[in-house]
Amino acid sequence: MKLNNIEDFIREIQMASLEKAMDRAAFVEQFRIKYLGKKGLISELFEEFKTVPNEQKKEMGQALNRLKTAAQAKIEEFKSSVEKLEQQSQTSDLTLPTDYSAVGSRHVLSVVMNEIIDIFSRIGFTVADGPEIEDDYHVFTALNFALDHPARDMQDTFFVEKEPSVNKPTDVLLRTHTSGVQVRVMEQQKPPIRVIMPGRVFRNEAISARAHCIFHQVEGLYVDKKVTFADLKQTLLYFAKEMFGEQTQIRLRPSYFPFTEPSAEMDISCNICGGKGCNICKGTGWLEILGCGMVDPNVLETSGIDSKEYSGFAFGMGVERMAMLKYQIRDLRLYFENDLRFLRQFDTIV
């Protein structure tokens, strides 16, 4: 018997672990028998202790006692761990099905907006962004709105600050459309310009199934040399077919917007009835989806672009309207009420 051997056994006991044991209770019992059993290692060492010379007995005896104490302490530690695991298993029914926590998903408006952005990005449009709190110049004046235009009235616009001067209004307001971003892009970038501007807008309207004070728009702008109305029509036809299906047809009706000339409203063939007429399209076979037109020369000149050299087209659509048509949603208020019964219908849309 050597002292070094006993110290090695002590270290071996201290390093022992239950982590890799398949049956922990059986492992603890085997560990006890190995070290403290009647024919265990410690019993054998004590038998050998009888042959140790008297001058070494004290040192060897102390080492054997440390070995026995270490084995007993480790066994108590193992037993305590096994008891805790048994108590935990008694409080948990392992036969119960796993409780899967609900996983969130994108809001239907985000899904539709991303789809619109993706469609236009395929034909070279980039995304531009701007502030939601804007000034009168970028929202109205630079877009050819007259000072007495109805859209400047408090009934349509949320004003944050109002300057007393009437001849040169510098009101601060919540933007009523994302067209102000068009102005900012034209001020900072030289043609050719090909951008879309998605974002949230605000109008002072009564909330109902068909109107809301908050909604989302995606507007587009293309300015270059020799841009024509035919380019606008073909761009929008491409968008309609990508968004609503290859069978979709479009028609353009004359309209008026201060910032475009000529202007038009665009309809698509009803994707519910296939153009035959139903309650969604009010029997006409057509659904209005956006406004568009050629950029008014005054708007180009105000932003520092030579209207004699460049021309362009612009369009704007409501994201809520697109989602209503695509998924047959009948009430705008559902988008903002956070009703999980409504939102979970779109969990599978990516």
Question: pLDDT tens track of the chain, all 350 residues?
Answer: 565 677 888 888 888 887 777 788 888 888 888 888 888 888 888 777 777 788 877 887 888 888 888 888 888 888 888 888 777 666 666 677 776 677 778 899 999 999 999 999 999 999 999 999 999 899 999 999 888 878 777 668 888 876 555 555 568 899 999 999 999 999 999 999 999 999 999 998 888 888 889 999 999 999 999 999 999 999 999 999 999 989 999 999 999 999 999 999 999 998 777 777 777 777 888 989 999 999 999 999 999 999 999 999 999 999 998 998 888 888 889 999 888 888 888 877 65
230 with 87, same domain? Answer: no
- Single residue among 64, 91, 118 that ends a domain in this structure: 91
Nearest CA to 183 among 299, 314, 315? Answer: 299
Q: Which two tokens stand for residue 92?
A: 């948990």
- Single residue among 91, 124, 144 that ends a domain in this structure: 91
Residue 99 one-letter amino acid: D
289 with 339, same domain? Answer: yes
81 with 52, same domain? Answer: yes
Crossing angle of helices 54-91/3-15, nearest 10°? 10
The answer, as to whether pTM is greater than 0.85, is no
Residue 216 one-letter amino acid: H
126 with 62, same domain? Answer: no
pLDDT of residue 299: 95
- Single residue among 91, 120, 151 that ends a domain in this structure: 91
83 with 213, same domain? Answer: no
Strands (E) located in the chain: 126-127, 133-135, 159-161, 172-174, 193-202, 214-224, 250-257, 260-269, 286-295, 311-318
Query: Taking the alpha carbons of 317, 118, 231, 145 in that order, is the dihedral positive or negative?
Result: positive
State the residue range of the domain holding 18: 3-91
pLDDT of residue 162: 65
* Domain contains 207: yes
Residue 295 near residue 311, CB atoms below 8 Å: yes
* Domain contains 165: no
250 with 301, same domain? Answer: yes
How far, in Å, are 88, 134, 174, 182, 267 from residue 314 at the CA level?
A: 66, 20, 21, 9, 16
pLDDT of residue 151: 72
Residue with tokens 């004590």: 46
**CATH number for 237:** 3.30.930.10
CA distance 311 to 226: 6
CA distance 179 to 128: 11
66 with 187, same domain? Answer: no
Q: How many other C-beta atoms lie within 10 A of the C-beta of residue 344?
A: 11
How far, in Å, are 142, 197, 230 from residue 261 at the CA level?
A: 15, 20, 14
* Domain contains 53: yes
Total count of residues recorded for the chain: 350
How far, in Å, are 34, 47, 154, 163, 237 from residue 9 at the CA level?
A: 12, 16, 89, 89, 84
Number of domains forming the structure of the chain: 2
pLDDT of residue 70: 84
* DSSP code at position 205: -
pLDDT tens per residue across span 241-283? 999 989 999 999 999 999 999 999 999 998 777 777 777 777 8
Q: Which two tokens stand for residue 31?
A: 């560990």
Residue 30 near residue 75, CB atoms below 8 Å: no
pLDDT of residue 44: 82
pLDDT of residue 90: 65
113 with 41, same domain? Answer: no
Nearest CA to 268 among 293, 294, 236? Answer: 236
How big is the chain by its Cα radius of gyration, in Å? Answer: 39
CA distance 50 to 298: 113
pLDDT of residue 158: 87
CA distance 276 to 62: 101
194 with 83, same domain? Answer: no
210 with 83, same domain? Answer: no
CA distance 235 to 92: 61
Residue 172 one-letter amino acid: V
Residue 263 near residue 292, CB atoms below 8 Å: yes
